[in-house]
Chain A
Amino acid sequence: MEKPVTRDPGFYVMVAIGLAVMFIAPVMLDLFTIMQITQYVVLSVFALSLGYIWGFGGILSFGQAAFFGLGAYTFAVASINMGSTTIPMVLAFVIPTLFGAALGYFMFYGRLSDVYLGVVTLVVALIFWKLINHTAGPEYSIGSARLGGFNGIPSIPTLHVPGDPSAWLDPGQMFQVFMGFLLVIYVALRFLIASDFGRVSISIRENETRSSLLGYDVRKHKVIVFAIGGGIAGIAGAMWATYQAFIDPNSVSMEMSAKALVWVMAGGVGTLVGPIIGCILLQWLTLQLGTVDVVNSIAVLGAIMMVLVLALPKGIVPTARSLLLGGYILWKRNHGQAIPGKVVKE
């Protein structure tokens, strides 16, 4: 009765759409548009990281950008020093994961309640931001990479074929590789969520007391979920760094953390597609509004957010899903068939 991922048609549809975009977009679209949507792909990975820990682990982090920034800076420093991007990409996953595990250990084994968890994650991101802003002098260097304070780190190497630093990727290839990252992370998360581990994290989201009363170590589970989320955000950060060839403290800012929260909320907590759709939609809107001079784009965005929360409190994807399901049930009823999944009285 447990529905495996491999028997969910929605999963195949999503992967097919992803593959189609991955291979067709570079052929159909011009260079500028490709670079533009590459940005959406990177930020979608970031959105997924929060969508996973919030929607499937019940951990609401107000400072997810801390991991994004940590991944970005790790990649920048490591790739400048090593002259290659392969190992730095791995490090951009490993170091934020370890940091997430350490931070999570103190938060969850210290039994922080949800509110304080929000505060601690927020403050950690703020500390990062402050710290990096104060590294402007030449004395703040790691190897040959200067941290550069609020000026950021320029000339970060572009992603290249593993083992051959001269074979760097052109924007079209970079887009395809990043789409590949997004797809792999999406698929991995789907399988993780459907696994026994994932089911236990969902049970913890639903009712922490009951999970521990069934004998599950809630603290350990939460630390692992939080660390995985941190690692994914770190990868997104590294993708961001190599895409822009530049990184500055804005990547750790409050705005970055808040954006992730808004994307997940708008798209739908408890789904993986939701955060991706929320991210793309709102980033696209921000871009469009940026070209309008008449009104302040942030004010308009805020208004749109309020309308979204009021009209679709569950988010775009869950609402669309229940509308579709409702239509399907009506259609079935009109055709005189029993509705699957619903118990019919005998």
Chain B
Amino acid sequence: MTTEHILTTRGLTMRFGGVTAVDNVDFNLRDGELRCLLGPNGAGKSTFFKCLTGQLTPTEGKITFAGQDVTGALTHQIVNLGVGIKTQVPNVFDGISAYENVRLSARRKHLAPMARELTHTTLERCGITHLAKREVGLLSHGQRQLVELAMVLAGEPKLILLDEPAAGMTGDERDRLAQLVLESARSAAVVVVEHDMAFIRQIAKFVTVFNRGAIFREAMIDDIMQDREVQEIYLGKQANVAAA
């Protein structure tokens, strides 16, 4: 693990009319780091991800990825620099097979024979080889999550963003996912947004907590779990936190 930052944001702000979804966020991620992002619904985690991947152009602030300023760049440009994202609601190609879904990702960087091989190994890594021929639109939510994850991994990104990857998964699928995330973190920086505490415990070390669009805490997972204020914002007692 190097100490060089692969991703930094400075004063990142995203406003929708009167609502500030992301509020002046300074975020640093080291190369090869695995970071968990926590926070109640509406804390701005998904909007933050959308800013990072160019799906939204931030109102203010600056995003630097791998030494390049990517503020306001187009999605495919950012992705081609080496960012892969699994979105909160799975974004997959419903009408085509799981294999073809993953191959489309692998083919981006590799020639056809290599892409085929990479597709097979990635499907295997994600434990969905048996779903390869199935139409993705007909799969369960958890299976679709795995297909999307395979698509992200097949792109061989330097930074992997995972937005609620464990949602809709069975216990077994979740364990495999945790394994995959830990494995991927060896070759790439990973940011995971998740509410599933059992899952978080399996993978987390350093955690960033979002609340109301801003960074609320950054600490090791054990400290976060014992933080009273974090517990309270999760339970929706914002008034108390503000008063304290």
Contact = CB atoms under 8 A, between A and B. Distances in A.
Interface of A: 1-2, 196, 199-200, 202-203, 205-207, 209-218, 341, 343
Interface string B89-117: 00111111101100111011000100010
B15 interface: no
A154 B237 CA distance: 80
Chain A contact residues, majority secondary structure: helix
A207 B92 contact: yes
B134 interface: yes
B139 to A, nearest CB: 11
Q: Point out which of B79, B80, B91 has the most chain A C-beta atoms below 10 A from its C-beta.
A: B91
Q: Point out which of A200, A203, A343 has the most chain B C-beta atoms below 10 A from its C-beta.
A: A203
Contacts of A341: 133
19 contacts: A2-B103, A199-B100, A199-B104, A202-B95, A203-B96, A206-B96, A210-B91, A213-B75, A213-B79, A213-B91, A215-B76, A215-B79, A215-B108, A215-B155, A216-B76, A217-B76, A341-B133, A343-B131, A343-B133
Contacts of B75: 212-213
B93 A207 contact: yes
Interface size class of B (residues with CB under 8 A): 20 to 34
Contacts of A1: 97, 99, 116, 132-133
Nearest to A216: B76
Contact of A210 (B93, B100, B103): B93
B8 interface: no
Contacts of A218: 76
B93 A206 contact: yes
Q: Point out which of A206, A214, A216, A217 has the most chain B C-beta atoms below 10 A from its C-beta.
A: A214
A52 to B, nearest CB: 16
B159 interface: no
Contacts of A207: 91-94
A227 to B, nearest CB: 20
The 5 closest A-B pairs by CB, nearest first: A206-B93, A210-B91, A215-B79, A212-B75, A215-B80
B92 A210 contact: yes
Contact of B104 (A203, A205, A209, A343): A203
A203 B100 CA distance: 9
B206 to A, nearest CB: 26
Contacts of B133: 1, 341, 343
Interface in B124-146: 130-134
A163 to B, nearest CB: 40
